[in-house]
Homo-oligomer: A and B are copies of this chain.
Amino acid sequence: MTKAHEGAGAGQTAHAAAWFTAITATTDERVFIRGAALDAAIGGMSFPSMLLLLWRGDVPSEAEADLMGACLVAAIDHGPLAPSALVARTIASTRATPMSALAGGILSFGELHGAVVSRAMRILAAVPGHGDLEVWADGVFEAERAAGRRLPGVGHRWHTDDRRAEALLDVATGLAGERHIAAVRALATRVGVHVGHPVAVNIDGALAVSLTALRIDPEYGDFLFAIARSFGLAAHVVEERDRERPMRLIDPTAAFYDGVPIPDNLAKETDR
């Protein structure tokens, strides 16, 4: 028989190289995640606890699980005009498979949409334990500018004040070092000086603070956002298939909301 690749290189691949995983083991009857029997966890452990166990390797406290749950809630959807939702809906409109629509939506999480939480976490990981945070924020701001990058975690193209971010920071307070919360606020202040108007901490920044407090590898930051948002993308795919004709041209300037009415006092507040 001839190997599909023959030659000196083939020798290197002729023997199975053993490799190792510390995540999950399965037997004929059971699945164990980080050593915990999954059948016992079903009904016995909350989902945010299981997720922290999976991603961090140890069982979290209740307060930690609550913060993880709040992160998932915060990112779950942001309406039909997010690029990921428009992509998922456009694919759904061709009647390609629902899974294709979801994957397409996820592929739109780029440097400018969603995929900045990990980067924000890496910036926060380098916050010095003491010293002037204004000076630190200034250094970070200049370094990111020099690299041609937008500073992650602050500002939003629509929201001048993002209440999601503030609500999440409230949940994180106590678990998050006050230092990290102060650091992300210092970044917002620094950018505000640059653009000439107040700039708020955004949802990416609040997620970065929270996930840092939960001691998760920064690599998971973008995944947290993308997967939580996937639940929202699924809702857009199902609605697109249910309500709209196939192969329509989707005009993002003509999207209207006709769902459960928004409470008057909140809408009013918005109109002020």
Contact = CB atoms under 8 A, between A and B. Distances in A.
Interface of A: 1-9, 13-43, 45-48, 50-51, 54-55, 57, 66, 69-70, 72-74, 76-81, 83, 86-87, 90-91, 93-104, 106-115, 157-164, 166-168, 170-171, 217, 219-220, 222-223, 226-227, 230-232, 234-239, 241-244, 246-263, 266-267, 269-270
14 contacts: A4-B24, A5-B81, A7-B28, A8-B160, A31-B78, A31-B79, A37-B266, A41-B73, A54-B76, A96-B108, A100-B103, A113-B247, A227-B227, A227-B234
Contacts of A244: 19
A111 to B, nearest CB: 5
A104 B104 contact: yes
A36 B167 CA distance: 14
The 5 closest A-B pairs by CB, nearest first: A35-B260, A96-B110, A22-B259, A7-B28, A39-B163
A253 B6 CA distance: 11
Given A31-B79, A41-B73, 15 more contacts: A7-B27, A8-B28, A16-B16, A18-B255, A22-B257, A24-B78, A34-B260, A36-B260, A43-B170, A47-B73, A55-B235, A104-B104, A106-B106, A107-B107, A112-B246
A166 B99 contact: no
A256 B3 contact: yes
B106 A160 contact: no
A112 B5 CA distance: 19
The copy count of this chain in the complex is 4
Contact of A254 (B18, B94, B217, B232): B18
A98 B106 CA distance: 11
A50 B73 contact: yes
A109 B97 CA distance: 10
Contacts of A217: 238, 242
A106 B90 CA distance: 12
A219 B238 CA distance: 7
B19 A250 contact: yes
B95 A91 contact: no
Contacts of A78: 24, 26, 31
